[in-house]
Amino acid sequence: MGEEEWARYWQHEQLPGIDLLRARYVRHSFPRHSHEGYVFGAVSGGVEDVVLPDRTVHAAPGSVVMLNPEVPHSARAGVPEGWAYSTLYPSADVVAEIAAETTALRGTVGFAEVEVADPQGARMIREVHRAAEEGNALAADSVLRILVARLLRRYGSSLPARPPRSAGFRNAARARDVLESRMAEPPSLDELAGELGTSPFALLRAFKQQYGMPPHTWLTNARVRRARALLDLGTAPADAAAAVGFTDQPHLNRHFTRIVGVPPGAYQRSRRERGVVPLAEEPAFSPTRTPPARTGASPSRTSGVAAPGGAVRKNVQDRAEPFTVRS
């Protein structure tokens, strides 16, 4: 396969509240961003570097990456040949429901560890993908719930309540509300600070401390989130770009692809398609050298989802396509 990159970001119509991504990235890197829900990822080849505010974790085959909602992070290849992985994005409501049914955890649940050596958990993440791609929603939903319950019992805890906010934190929250309400035409940092009765540098420090990224980076992430919601409703990408404040559709394409991992057109098609969908043959991960794996597990091949001869699956919304990203 060389350095070909491909990605498949989709939903199964019978698995509400769950997004799925399988991809192979080499040159592509994800800028600082966050997710509204949880992230559970399993690398099947290569190494993914997940960059957090305080450290970088190196996810190799046999490990599971767990991210809580709104945790700022970026990601990039940890070895020259890149990485291939399967990722689940369950909503906060889905995880809270499973936690209430299967654990004694109360309040908002989360994970203190970002990366753990858990080959069985990694296999289960791939099993959810495989079952969904085969149109077996019962199996996919069952394995997903068993997986999340297992991760919660092993690594989960109730997240501590946030301490009372200082004036700086309150200004950061107010600034976020202003940026959300005026996303298409946001104020400058100086104008925003003036509206809030503080200085630009004080606001910049407080905002970054509260949300893990400066206001302009947070705004780009928020614009992509809102664009995703508009695309889900059937809005054309060009109209979504204008609605959220991007200069034009190429501007949306660039930021959307960098943050979500697929172009907006491919993302929208995955929401629109129903029933029987032909799936392209997925290339296997073929590194030029064996990447390090601290767990001792060897890189596994990412399974193809189309049978030889171009067979199709039922009840799958999906589109795989190679793409080039300017990072």
- So what's the pLDDT on residue 195? 96
> For residue 174, what pLDDT band results from cuts at 50, 70 and 90?
very high
Query: Which amino acid, one-letter code, is at 64?
Result: V
- So what's the pLDDT on residue 228? 95
Rounded (10°) angle between helices 215-232 and 249-260? 100
What would the mean pLDDT of 247-253 be, rounded to a whole number?
Answer: 96
Chain mean position to CA 20 = 9
User: Around Cβ 239, how many Cβ atoms within 10 Å?
Assistant: 14
Whose tokens are 């793409």? That residue is: 323
Condensed to tens digits (0 to 9), the pLDDT of residues 291-310 reads: 444 433 333 333 333 332 33
Condensed to tens digits (0 to 9), the pLDDT of residues 63-105 reads: 999 999 999 999 999 999 999 999 999 999 999 999 999 999 9
- So what's the pLDDT on residue 196? 96
> For residue 160, what pLDDT band results from cuts at 50, 70 and 90?
confident
Degrees, nearest 5: CA angle 193-54-41 = 110
- So what's the pLDDT on residue 287? 61
> For residue 286, what pLDDT band results from cuts at 50, 70 and 90?
low
- So what's the pLDDT on residue 85? 98
Whether pLDDT at 25 is above 60 = yes
Instruction: Decide if 36 contacts 264 (C-beta within 8 A).
Output: no
Whether pLDDT at 19 is above 50 = yes
Task: Take residue 245 and report the two structure tokens written for it.
Answer: 């404040």
Q: Which positions ≥6 away from 82 have C-beta within 8 Å?
A: 3, 5, 24, 25, 26, 27, 46
Burial classification of residue 308, based on how many CB atoms lie within 10 Å of its CB (0-12 exposed, 13-18 middle, 19 or more buried): exposed
